[in-house]
Amino acid sequence: MPAEAVTPRPASTILLLRDSVGTKGEVEVFMMVRHYEIDFNSGALVFPGGSVDKGDQEIIARPELYSGGEGLDASALSFRIAAIRETFEESGILLARSLGSNALVDAKRAGEIEAATRTALCEGNTTFLKVLTDNGMLLALDELVPYAHWITPEGMPKRFDTWFFLAAAPPAIHRFDLGVAARGPGGRRERAVQIAVSDHAQPDQARQAEKRAGRAQR
């Protein structure tokens, strides 16, 4: 008798884009290299993202904490909220606005929020809802453009129902350079190196960048 198919886990990811800082006419996308000690997909070049969790559902019930949710059902909202939360947890980049502002939070303010809350958030000692309310932040769901929807085929031991979103990188973000991110659900600390990949990059150039990032983790 064939094994019962694993139910896909809802998940989200964001492709953060910006104009290339070095070559006119090219676009760069923010990617991360998963730490070599992580059990799942160690060393893989990935976009920031992860699973939808129950805390995202709590934010859905607080529409004053996000913009751009008009006409979306709870499922669609949860994917978008998870995408922004996971990106903040993994990279410190925050797609949000201060209450009463039309502009995305800049790198300086995002860095202050990161320094004060991200470790506690990643270690499960606070919630994303509390991070938003304590800092007067409004999630910018309207910045996310649905790009693709992938579901892992049946037969795989881990399956994900994943929405991919496009978004312009917030202003004055410098994290497309090499840096280390910490993320530790359940108290576990994991690191990932952050890099930029041009839309014109050849596969071997991307692999070389990935190898350099991998060496930086050791």
pLDDT tens, position by position, 4-42: 778 999 999 999 988 877 777 788 888 877 655 555 555
With beta carbons less than 8 A apart as the criterion, state whether 32 and 47 touch.
Answer: yes
pLDDT at 96: 96
Longest Cα–Cα distance of the chain, Å, equals 59
In a 13 Å sphere around the CA of 142, the CA atoms on its Cβ side amount to: 12
pLDDT number for residue 213: 43
Task: Report how far residue 143's alpha carbon sits from residue 145's, in angstroms, rounded to the nearest whole number.
Answer: 7
Question: Are 113 and 137 a contacting pair, CB within 8 Å?
Answer: yes
Structure tokens at 128: 């994303």
Domains of the chain: 12-217 (3.90.79.10)
- φ, ψ for residue 179 (rounded to 5)? -165, 170
Distances (CA, A) of 70 to 48, 76, 192: 25, 11, 34
| 40 vs 51, residue with greater confidence | 51
CA dihedral of residues 165, 168, 174, 180 (deg, nearest 10): 0
Give per-residue pLDDT as tens, 53-86.
999 999 999 999 999 999 999 999 999 999 999 9
The whole-angstrom separation of Cα 157 and Cα 7 is 10
**Model confidence, pTM:** 0.80
